[in-house]
Structure 1
Amino acid sequence: MLGDFTYHNPCRVHFGPNALDELPSELAEYGPKVLLTYGGGSIKRNGVYDKVITALEAAGKTVFEVPGVMSNPTADKLREGAKVARENDVDLILAVGGGSTIDYAKGVSVSAWTEGDPWEHLYLHMEEPTGKVIPVGDVLTMSGTGSEMNAGSVITNHEEGLKIGHVFGPNVIPRFAIVNPEVTFTVPDYQMRAGIYDAFNHICEQYFSGTDDNTSDYIAEGLMRSLVHASRIAVKDPTDYEARSNISWVCTWALNTLIACGKSTDWEVHMLGQAIGAVTDATHGMTLSAVSLPYYRLVMPYGVEKFARFARAVWNVDDSGKSEREVAEAGLEAMSEWMDQIGVVKSARELGLTEENIPDAVKATFILDGGYHKLTTEEVEQIFHESL
């Protein structure tokens, strides 16, 4: 490993069927006022809401609620939550839901006491919060984003046609995460599949960079193999606990910064996918699956050795009689076949991207330089056309 790094993750994870039993002990560490954030109401149907409210009431908490957090939280919704948190001077924000709800809670935590418009300062200009950061805890109901154990927050502004993620400092990472894989059984099939691919691409974004012998890459390969294996079981039997628990644990470790230690990282697939999301409001994981293969086929020649290693280590590609380029290509083909097996979107047209709105997606795409090849604007446009 050639890079310098500091690894610090303060999140305490409670994992398993009885994980929610640990919520009272976590609540005891915070003051009396709690802001509860959640989405469209699925937590009321599956019983999680009632269990959380019971724990909050037993702990003597005064609860303020911000429901209706959408799958792509907006700048307006962020301002709404920040206002509630600030006016009530809450001591803890408890996010109950999937990655979008937790992203939103972290956004509110840094926005409530930041002077000025949070979208402009914290996302558009990527400034750091100027006021106090409200602690966040989460009860996870859908695995995929890894938001339960990282400091990232993605917010969409439809008026400006932008979807921007800001990874804040360790003080924004949730203080605790409650992960019960059984709760994920109630997630709609489409969202389960999107979450699986989201996590897989998180690993790829950190894996496809660098040329040194890096321990983080070996960990990444193991996580990818586990996810591929478990996903094949879960799409056939979504209530297979062992498969769903492995998926949940991989999703958490895919983006809690561990496998980025000592590495440069890419993240261009996310920039492309988020641009589609800004234009179409499509499900995040599916926007990634739609652009991944066009992007990786374009950049593969610049990092052919790593793509060949990916083929051997993750997909068990037989390299007999093949050049490194042919092995690398076979790996991407194996990945494509797996994507078909788990049923993720491979055409951005299915998500609402069209020839007509590609220019808007190009404008919304941030071009990064952490991977094997920095895209040109023309290549961004090419990828979107090929994704159709």
Structure 2
Amino acid sequence: MLGDFTYHNPCRVHFGPNAVEKLADELSEYGDNVVLIYGGGSIKRSGLYDQVMGMLKAAGKNVVEDGGVMSNPTADKLREGACIAREADADLLLAVGGGSVIDYAKGVSVSAHCDEDPWDKYYFRMERPDNEIIPVGSILTMSGTGSEMNGGSVITNPELGLKIGHVFGPEAIPKFSIINPELTFTVPDYQMRAGIFDAFNHIQEQYFSGQDDNTSDYVSEALMKNLVKAARIAVADPRDYGARSDISWISTWALNTFVGKGKAGDWEVHMIGQAIGAVTDATHGMTLSAVAPAYYRRIMPYGMGKFVRFATEVWGVRSEGKTDEQVAREGLAAMEAWMDEIGVVRHVRDLGLEPDQYDDVVKATFLLDGGYKKLSPEDVREIPVESE
């Protein structure tokens, strides 16, 4: 393991079919005022809203609701939520939903008592919080983002054509997260598949960096192999609890910072995907699946050893009698075949991205240098072309 690092994750996770029952214990640790944050009507249709609200009332909490969080939360919605939380004098923000809802809740947590515009301070200037932060708890209903156990918050500014993630410190990580894989059964099939690739690519972004024999890479390979297997089962039978529970737990560990330790991290697929999302409002996991193969083919020559290892260790490609490049390309081909098998988007045109918007994607893409090759703007423009 190269470099120095500190690992600390303050989130307490309750996992399993009866995990929601643990909410009562968690609520006893916070004050009277709770803001309940959720998205559309799915938690009401599933009965989860009534269950949670009943527990909040039984605990004697004053509840203010902040619903309607969209799949790509906007800067305007963040400002609205900060105002709601501040006026409610919130002691706890309880996010019930998927990654967008939890990301939004974390954004609200650092913004409610901020004396400046939160978009400017946290997402444009990328400053650290220097004000009171409201604790966040979460009940997860969709797997993929890992937002339930990290400090990241992605917010979109449609007016500027930007979608930006800010990874805050441990103070913004949810204090507790409740993961009942059965709750993910209510997620539409398209969203389930998107979440699977989102989690897979989180691991890839950390895996495809560095040249040393890193413990994190061995963990990442195991997580990716398990996710490949579980995804096949879940796509065939979305109500298979074993597969959905594996997907839920892998998604959490894919981005709770554990497998990133000792790694530089790439994250360029996410930068391009987020830029496409800012332009099209497409589902995040599908923006990643549309560009990842083209991106990895482009950087493969600069990290050939790791791509060979990815092929042999994750996909079981045999290396005898083959060049490194042949092995590496077979690995990427195996990944693409699996992506087609689980039905994720493979072409940017299927996201609604038109050629005349490619320049907008380039402008909205942040160029990072943690991977094997730092892209130029010209490289970024070619990624959608190769993914058409």
CA contact (8 A) 1:232 1:342 kept: yes
1:370 and 2:352 correspond: no
* 8 A Cα contact 1:279 1:360, kept in partner: yes
Q: Distance in 2 between matches of 1:263 and 1:294?
A: 23
Question: Which amino acid counterpart does residue 318 of structure 1 have in structure 2?
Answer: R
Match of 2:251 in 1: 251
In the TM superposition, what is the alpha-carbon distance from 1:130 to its structure 2 partner? 2.2
**Post-superposition offset of 1:115:** 1.4
Distance 1:44 1:17 in 2: 19
1:232 aligns with 232
Report if the CA contact (8 A) 1:115-1:130 is conserved. Answer: no
- Matched with 2:39 is 39
Answer whether contact 1:36 1:96 (CA < 8 A) is retained.
yes
Q: How far off is 1:325 after superposition?
A: 1.1
Q: Take 1:50 and 1:225, find their aligned partners in 2: how far apart are those partners? A: 37
Count of aligned residue pairs for this structure pair: 388
Same amino acid, percent of matched pairs: 69
- What is the TM-score when the length of structure 2 is the normalising length? 1.00
Gaps of 5+ in 2: none
Q: Find the aligned partners of 1:3 and 1:199 in 2 and give their Cα distance.
A: 25
> How does 1:72-87 map onto structure 2 within 5 Å?
72-87=72-87
Say if 1:194 and 1:285, in contact at 8 Å, map to a contact too. Answer: yes
- Structure 1 residue 162, shift from structure 2 partner: 0.1
Counterpart of 1:84, as a letter, is: I
* Residue pair 1:37, 1:105 contacting (<8 A) in 2 also: yes
Matches of 1:172 and 1:44, distance apart in 2: 27
Structure 2 letter corresponding to 1:228: V
CA contact (8 A) 1:114 1:131 kept: yes
Residues in 1 aligned to 2:36 and 2:186: alpha-carbon distance in whole angstroms: 21
Q: Counterpart in 1 of 2:200? A: 200
Partner Cα separation in structure 1 for residue 150 and residue 202 of structure 2: 12
Paired residue type of 1:127: E
Aligned equivalent of 2:142? 142
Q: Deviations over 1:98-144 (max 9, x none)?
A: 00000000000000111110001100110112211100000000000
Question: Counterpart of 1:203 in structure 2: which amino acid?
Answer: I
> CA offset at residue 91 of structure 1?
0.2
Q: Distance in 2 between matches of 1:198 and 1:352?
A: 19
Task: Report runs of 4+ in structure 1 exceeding 4 Å deviation.
Answer: none
The residue that corresponds to 2:2 in the other structure is 2
- Other-structure match for 1:306: 306
CA distance in 1, matches of 2:289, 2:225: 18
In the TM superposition, what is the alpha-carbon distance from 1:3 to its structure 2 partner? 1.5
- Superposed CA RMSD: 0.5
1:302-337 per-residue CA deviation (whole Å, 9 max, x = no partner) reads 000000000001000011111111111100000000
Q: Does 1:109 align with 2:109?
A: yes
Q: Secondary structure at the match of 2:63?
A: strand
User: TM-score, structure 1 length as denominator?
Assistant: 1.00
Q: Is the 8 A contact 1:36 1:94 kept in 2?
A: yes
The 1-side partners of 2:79 and 2:158 are apart by 14
Verify the 8 A CA contact 1:113 1:130 in the aligned structure 2.
no
- Aligned pairs for 1:253-292 within 5 A: 253-292=253-292
**Cα displacement string for residues 325-384 of structure 1 (whole angstroms, at most 9, x for unaligned residues):** 111110000000000000000001110111111111110000000000000010000112
Distance (Å, rounded) in 2 between the aligned partners of 1:387 and 1:324 = 24
Could you report, residue by residue, the CA deviation over 1:259-278 in whole angstroms, capped at 9, with x for unpaired residues? 00111100000000000000
